[in-house]
Amino acid sequence: MITGKNYIGSTASGLGTTFKTFNPIENSENDATFHEATEQEINDAVALAKKAFFTYKNVSGLEKSNFLNAIADEILELGDELITTYTKESGLPAGRATGERGRTIGQLRSFANLVKEGSWVEASIDTAEPNRAPLPKVDIRKMLVAVGPVVVFGASNFPLAFSTAGGDTASALASGCPVIVKSHPMHAGTGELVTSAILKAAQKTGMPNGVFSNLNSSGIEVGTQLVKHKDIKSVVFTGSFTGGKALFDIANNRPEPIPVFAEMGSINPIVILPNTLENNAESIANNLAGSITLGTGQFCTNPGLILGLKSDALTAFTKNLALKLSGIDAGCMLHPNIKKGFASTKEMVTAQDNVVVLTEKNAAENPNFAKSQLATVSGKTFLKNPKLHQEVFGPFSLVVQCENKDELLNVSQALEGQLTATILGESEELTNYSEIISFISDITGRIIFNGMPTGVEVCPSMHHGGPYPATTDSRFTSVGTGAIKRFVRPLSFQNWPEELLPEALKNKNPLSILRHLNGTATAKSI
């Protein structure tokens, strides 16, 4: 049952103004009424998180793993109500909801395994050398420790996998940090259901009250207040550039600046080299049409920019891609506001000088549905107009036709930071374009050969991040087990008594983890 309340730890509270979520397929409001968190509720949640941190930071990897696995179990226990609520609040189909639930469960279990195994803390021990000349060497040991209460902003486009118990929450809880979720207003009901699962799991596995709180909001005030709160130590956000950059600025202007890990999207350039275009035009067009329209283009890895060398082959390919896109049904967008944003950004971009729209204009549809659109410009125009470099969130892509290799090189050097960049080519022609590949690899977090950027594999080698403005910190990922590194810092223990050392640093290596002992990786005890 959805109550519409905030959860300050296990305590339900609903004092603030109310709002409702929206069903974009039905084009009508959903039933439940949600209470926006008040200033007092926000302060209470942070105070409780701070108190919980004192205990939770020392909870063992095994216990944290039980907690994370219990969250996964409880989410499954929510059954159909979760799937139905998800689809009603997002317009996404049940199949996507089930798939995303699977990914969410998988992420929780993968962090459970990581902290149960324990080596992720990067334990390092340099033993004392009391007889070293000219000065004795002291015993120094180091490991990663949790930073404190974390605020996670739910993402509009991933109501499960990047929201309440998504990868951000899972990795923060795994690290030993309490989490306060600023629930996304578009799927507050889904958020509350998942919250109930987390709170049950916390209770069943004996976690301190306040290890998790969930706060509702319909505007920017709740998030702003949270990020400004002195006891919040880290912030995670997935969403628009405007939103992420605003939080980044707020956090940097606090008396004590804190890190903001904002993943702000990307246009994910695809470079099509001439030989592969000659040989594989049809399959590339099919794959691109699928990738551009997947999830109605509402993925941060959506391919919004296609770069090629001007040629008859490219002209024919572009026409063909436009035709294929025109043949794909319009899809429902997450919310009227998302549809509005898509329409206006798309119109702004296509209204720029020398931009040619290739897809057909469509008659009115269901107001929250969107048809994909393809446009094209010359390399020269693209280089001159930064407005053409910005993300259009939704099923849109821009083909840039470069005069020659030099212009393609210039375009690749003019690109801003990206989550992904893709090279489509024959193996033999890659060395011809090594300079372009070198520049492109400098501005991206993931470089793909002959594949599509959508479909982010959740695995240890995945880096989902990239240079600014793709994210505010290119050194960290929001997907894969590396995501835990966002919430920890190293702490050195000098000459620290054995009995007070954390388990990870004790002589006997009771956790049997891989450590660096005097510079060498080993699981040996001392």
Nearer to its own copies among residue 81 and residue 249 (C-beta)? 249
The C-alpha atoms of residue 339 and residue 367 are separated, in whole angstroms, by 8
Please tell me whether residue 379 binds its own copies under the rule CB under 8 A.
no
Give min distance, CB of 350 to its own copies, in A: 25
CA atoms lying within 13 Å on the CB side of residue 235: 34
Contact positions with its own copies (CB under 8 A) in 395-424: 416-417
Rg (CA), the chain: 25
DSSP readout, 301-339?
T---EEEEE-SHHHHHHHHHHHHHHHTSPPEE-S-HHHH
Q: Give the nearest distance from C-beta 240 to its own copies in angstroms.
A: 17
* Minimal distance, residue 493 CB to its own copies, in Å: 6
Residue 430 interacts with its own copies (CB under 8 A)? yes
Q: Considering only residues 478-497, where is the footprint of its own copies by CB under 8 A?
A: 482, 485, 488-497
Residue whose structure tokens are 């969930």: 214
* 445 forms part of the interface with its own copies (CB under 8 A): yes
Taking the least distance from each CB to its own copies, the nearer of 297 and 467 is 467
Instruction: Return the ∠ at Cα 505 (arms to 499 and 496), rounded to 5°.
Output: 50
CB of 49 to its own copies, least distance (A): 14
- Segment contacting its own copies (CB under 8 A): 119-127, 155-163, 183-191, 337-345? 119-127
| Closest distance to its own copies from the beta carbon of 207 (Å) | 18
**6 vs 302, beta carbon nearer its own copies:** 302
Tokens 């469960």 belong to residue = 105
Task: Give ∠ CA 109-110-116 in degrees, rounded to 5.
Answer: 85
Task: Output the smallest distance, CB 62 to its own copies, in A.
Answer: 19
CA atoms within 13 A on the CB side of 79: 3
Binding-site member from 449, 508, 510, 524 for its own copies (CB under 8 A): 449
Q: How far is the CB of 12 from its own copies (least distance, A)?
A: 30
Query: In degrees rounded to 5, what are phi and psi of residue 434?
Result: -65, -30
* 3 state SS of 234: strand
Structure tokens at 445: 């977090």
Is 521 among the residues that bind its own copies (CB under 8 A)?
A: yes
From 177, 300, 332, 402, active-site residue: 300
Rounded Cα–Cα distance for residues 511 and 504 (Å): 6
From the list 212-220, 313-321, 362-370, 475-483, the region that binds its own copies by CB under 8 A is 475-483
Stretch that binds its own copies, among 66-74, 347-355, 368-376, 441-449 (CB under 8 A): 441-449
Q: In the range 259-318, which residues lie near its own copies by CB under 8 A?
A: 259
CA atoms of 287 and 422, how far apart (whole Å) = 13
Query: Cβ 310 to its own copies, closest distance in Å?
Result: 26
Q: Is 263 a catalytic residue?
A: yes
**Which position among 16, 24, 394, 467 is part of the footprint of its own copies (CB under 8 A)?**
467
**Euclidean distance between the first and the last CA atom of the chain, given in angstroms as a whole number:** 54
Nearest Cα neighbor of 398 from 350, 328, 456 is 350
Member of 64, 96, 116, 142 binding its own copies (CB under 8 A): 142
Q: How far does CA 216 lie from the centroid of its chain?
A: 20
Please tell me the distance from the alpha carbon of residue 515 to that of residue 175, in angstroms, as a whole number.
Answer: 18
Question: Binding to its own copies (CB under 8 A): which residues in 17-56?
Answer: 54
Find tokens 């049409």 and name the residue: 289
Q: Which of 41, 89, 263, 407 is catalytic?
A: 263
Separation CA 127–CA 107 (nearest Å): 36
Nearest approach, Cβ of 431 to its own copies (angstroms)? 8
Question: What is the footprint of its own copies within residues 234-253 (CB under 8 A)?
Answer: 248-249, 252
Give the CB-side neighbour count of residue 367, counting CA atoms within 13 A.
9
CA distance linking residue 446 with residue 255, whole number of Å: 35
Q: Which stretch binds its own copies (CB under 8 A): 10-18, 179-187, 323-331, 470-478?
A: 470-478
What does the chain come to in residues? 526
442 binds its own copies (CB under 8 A): yes
Least distance from its own copies to the Cβ atom of residue 252, Å: 5
Taking CB under 8 A as the rule, does residue 145 contact its own copies? yes
Q: Given the rule CB under 8 A, which of 28-36, 235-243, 299-307, 435-443 is the region that contacts its own copies?
A: 435-443
Residue 121: CB partners within 8 Å, gap ≥ 6? 143, 144, 488, 504, 513
- Which range of residues in 149-157, 236-244, 276-284, 444-452 is near its own copies by CB under 8 A? 444-452
Q: Is 177 a catalytic residue?
A: no
Q: How far apart are CA 490 and CA 174, in angstroms?
A: 16
Out of 12, 47, 414, 448, name the contact with its own copies by CB under 8 A: 448
Does 147 contact its own copies by CB under 8 A? Answer: yes
Q: What is the 3-state secondary structure (H, E, C) of 439-505?
A: HHHHCEEEEEECCCCCCCCCCCCCCCCCCCCCECCCCCCCCCHHHHHHHEEEEEEECCCHHHCCHHH
- Asked if residue 94 binds its own copies (CB under 8 A), the reply is no
Phi/psi for 521 (5° steps) reads: -70, 130
Give me the 339-358 binding string for its own copies, x by CB under 8 A, dash otherwise: --------------------
Instruction: Verify binding: residue 138, its own copies, rule CB under 8 A.
Output: yes
| 441 lines the binding site for its own copies (CB under 8 A) | yes
Helix or strand run (H / E) with residue 86: helix 79-90
455 binds its own copies (CB under 8 A): yes
Contact 400, 347 (CB under 8 A): no
Active-site annotation, residues: 263, 300
